[in-house]
């Protein structure tokens, strides 16, 4: 409809797009301690204000809400389309070959923290709006670019927005992958604990267990300490232990304490089958050490029954389920700590659309209670789904197909995006299929041409969606 003029405008602004991404990337907007009028710290507020300044200079009406979130309106017509992007980033971490907070351009690629998540895509959305406005494409509805500053740490910024502003009729976030994510699994990640007390004195017994730091990550290491076992018996136990691919066990003795370690492979908890869980592997060999009958032994054996090694789908604990739209439930036991008196842990389950409190939470609560644990926190988030037959969805996919020549289709994922829980909200780009941008890792990058293509896709979608009555 307006494809040719949109493409000419975006192509003519390549250098401006590059410069604006650089200006945002150069602000180290990781979450900081709250300051006066800056709820998520100094630098997220600075990046938010810089982005809003770019919007204002582009001729859009701008509003800043408490330095937590802000937005830019195309016009004063009824709000139809919201675009949710964010200015905060994860910490840089180690291993960079360039300054993570100084965007660099090399051989068609841009490098820096936030170039793909989510500053580069946010600028693509801004220039999509500019293309529609500056080329004079007539609209009958409004599009609003909503810019947050706390997506990486829980999206508390969205509460500031929805406290005073209404939900757009339709929304997308350029903070994921193409073609389009319309289904996001729910999440059930309860914390549980049990007291063993200090009365345990039989031998041999486990006196320490440590594995996992983040509930959303499959642990790649685990450590268990046992007292009252001989070195020869320990060696026999390890020799008789089952062999697991990608898992290595090691033992050492010091001051009559046996230390058993397991090494595996980390993975995101939404894709536990891609990892090798060192925690559940270590639980799986507890029986080999012929521990005495005490509460800690009972708890560890019980956890092994409920979270069997290589069971990534909740079969052992009785909550396995799936549906055609969102796929299988996944489950990963990711944290377990025991100091000799208190054992506490947490698992991460990504739940399909068919999941309910009754068929997911209740069975696991009952099973954990049955082996001696109590639930401390529930942490249950429902799944998110948008009807793929909506004209809105079909318009987005059509724009994607037109500018990429690739098939557009709806995708279901185990993770959550910025629009999880927002009515008629989907994730739409900006990362192209099969492109790994090292998001959240060292040397995060983005093919600059993909930013340009995303801007064209978004402009085309805006022109169609907001020109209809």
Q: Kindly write down the DSSP assignment for every residue of 323-368, as one continuous string.
A: ETTTEE-EEEEEEEEE-SSEEEEEEEEEE-TT--IIIIIHHHHHHH
Look at the block and give the residue holding tokens 């644990």: 373
Residues 159-172 pLDDT 10s:
999 999 999 999 99
Summarize pLDDT for 42-87 with one digit per residue, the tens.
Answer: 999 999 999 999 999 999 999 999 999 999 999 999 999 999 999 9
pLDDT reading at 252 higher than 90 = yes
Confidence at residue 214, expressed as pLDDT on a 0 to 100 scale: 86
| pLDDT tens per residue, range 426-437 | 999 999 999 999
How many CB atoms are located within 10 Å of the residue 51 CB? 28
pLDDT tens string 217-245 = 899 999 999 999 988 888 888 888 888 98
**Average per-residue pLDDT for the chain:** 95
pTM of the model: 0.89
State yes or no: pLDDT of 449 exceeds 90: yes
How much is the pLDDT for 198? 65
Spatial distance between the Cα atoms of 453 and 172, rounded to a whole number of angstroms: 16
Instruction: Tell me if residue 72 falls in helix, strand or coil.
Output: strand
pLDDT for res 232: 87
Give the separation between CA 157 and CA 68, rounded to whole angstroms.
5
Q: For residue 440, name the pLDDT band (cuts at 50, 70, 90).
A: confident
Please give the pLDDT value at position 32. 94
Confirm if 65 and 101 have CB atoms less than 8 A apart.
Answer: no
95 pLDDT higher than 80: yes
Quick one: CA torsion of 44, 177, 122, 7, rounded to 10 degrees? Answer: 170
Q: What is the pLDDT of residue 225?
A: 96
Q: Which domains does the chain have, with CATH numbers?
A: 3-184+384-465 (3.40.630.10), 187-381 (3.30.70.360)
Residue 88 confidence (pLDDT) above 90: yes
Q: Is pLDDT above 90 for 378?
A: no
How confident is the model over 428-447, as a mean pLDDT?
94
* pLDDT score for 2: 87
Q: What is the pLDDT of residue 197?
A: 74
pLDDT per residue as tens digits for the range 381-408: 999 999 999 999 999 999 999 999 999 9
Residue whose entry in the numeric block shows the structure tokens 């360039």 = 98
Q: In whole angstroms, what is the distance from residue 90 CA to residue 80 CA?
A: 31
Residues in CB range of 355: below 8 A, 6 or more apart: 186, 188, 321, 329, 383
Whether omega before 179 lies within 30 degrees of 0, making that bond cis, reads yes
| Residue among 205, 202, 329 at smallest CA distance from 271 | 329
Q: What is the pLDDT of residue 199?
A: 65
**d(Cα 289, Cα 229) in Å, to the nearest integer?**
8
User: Which of the pair, 214 or 136, is modelled with greater confidence?
Assistant: 136
Residues of the chain with pLDDT > 90, as a percent, come to 88
> CA-to-CA distance for 306 and 90, rounded, in angstroms?
34
The pLDDT score that the predictor gives to residue 255 is 84
Tell me the C-alpha distance between 42 and 34, whole Å. Answer: 8
Give the N- to C-terminal CA distance of the chain in Å, as an integer: 16
pLDDT of 265 > 90? The answer is: yes
């Amino acid at each position: 409809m307006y494809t040719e003029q949109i493409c000419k405008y975006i192509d003519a602004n390549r250098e401006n797009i590059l410069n604006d991404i650089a200006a945002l990337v150069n602000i180290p907007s990781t979450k900081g301690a709250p300051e006066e009028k800056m709820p998520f710290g100094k630098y997220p507020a600075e990046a938010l204000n810089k982005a809003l300044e770019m919007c204002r200079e582009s001729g859009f009406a701008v509003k800043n809400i408490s330095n937590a979130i802000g937005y830019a309106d195309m016009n004063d017509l009824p709000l139809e389309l919201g675009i949710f992007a964010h200015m905060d980033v994860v910490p840089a971490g180690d291993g960079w070959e360039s300054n993570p907070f100084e965007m660099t351009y090399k051989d068609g690629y841009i490098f820096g923290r936030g170039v793909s998540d989510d500053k580069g895509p946010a600028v693509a959305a801004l220039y999509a709006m500019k293309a529609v406005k500056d080329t004079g494409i007539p609209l009958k509805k409004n599009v609003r670019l909503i810019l947050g500053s706390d997506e990486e740490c829980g999206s508390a910024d969205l509460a500031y927005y929805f406290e005073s502003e209404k939900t757009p009729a339709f929304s997308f976030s350029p903070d994921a992958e193409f073609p389009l994510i319309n289904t996001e699994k729910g999440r059930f990640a309860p914390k549980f604990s049990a007291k063993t007390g200090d009365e345990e004195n039989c031998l041999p017994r486990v006196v320490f267990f440590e594995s996992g730091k983040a509930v959303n990550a499959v642990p790649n290491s685990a450590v268990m300490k046992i007292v009252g076992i001989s070195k020869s018996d320990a060696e026999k136990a390890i020799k008789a232990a089952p062999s697991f691919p990608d898992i290595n066990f090691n033992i050492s003795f010091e001051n009559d304490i046996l230390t058993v370690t397991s090494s595996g492979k980390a993975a995101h908890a939404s894709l536990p089958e891609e990892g090798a869980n060192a925690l559940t592997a270590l639980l799986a060999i507890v029986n080999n050490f012929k521990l005495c009958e005490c509460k800690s032994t009972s708890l560890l054996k019980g956890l092994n029954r409920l979270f069997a090694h290589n069971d990534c789908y909740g079969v052992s604990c009785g909550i396995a389920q799936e549906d055609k739209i969102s796929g299988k439930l996944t489950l990963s036991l990711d944290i377990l700590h025991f100091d000799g008196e208190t054992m506490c842990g947490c698992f991460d389950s990504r739940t399909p659309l068919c999941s309910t409190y009754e068929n997911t939470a209740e069975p696991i609560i009952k099973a954990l209670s049955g082996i001696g644990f109590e639930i401390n926190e529930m942490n249950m988030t429902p799944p998110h789904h948008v009807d793929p037959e909506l004209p809105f969805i079909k318009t987005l996919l059509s724009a994607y197909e037109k500018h990429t020549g690739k098939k557009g289709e709806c995708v279901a994922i185990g993770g959550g995006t910025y629009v999880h829980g927002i009515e008629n909200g989907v994730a739409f780009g900006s990362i192209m299929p099969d492109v790994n941008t090292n998001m959240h890792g060292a040397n995060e990058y983005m093919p600059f041409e993909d930013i340009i293509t995303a801007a064209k896709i978004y402009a085309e979608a805006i022109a169609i969606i907001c020109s209809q009555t």
